Amino acid sequence: MNILELKNTGKKFPEATDWAVKDFNLEVQEGEIVALLGESGCGKTTLLRMIAGFANPTEGTILLNGEIIAGAGVFMEPQQRQV
């Protein structure tokens, strides 16, 4: 079972012309270690902020232990995520 799953997740800030993160997909299973690598400004911090609950994705879905924590009409507060 995936402990963390991102499906077509994206974030576009209102003032921006380009997406900070676009169509990002990820599946993390229990016991796996994941690293995010990329150049400055490619969306690593934005992605982590969405997983933690400090930013809401513009599109897509984030699941934690099979439960939707962010997506269309759903947003679980950061303190409830226990991330």
Output the pTM of the full model. Answer: 0.91
Q: Which fold has domain 2-59?
A: Rossmann fold (3.40.50)
Whether the CB-CB separation of 27 and 5 falls below 8 Å is answered with yes
Q: How confident is the model at residue 76 (pLDDT cuts 50, 70, 90)?
A: very high
| pLDDT at residue 63, rounded to an integer | 97
Residue with tokens 């997506």: 71
Domain ranges of the chain: 2-59
9 pLDDT above the threshold of 90: yes
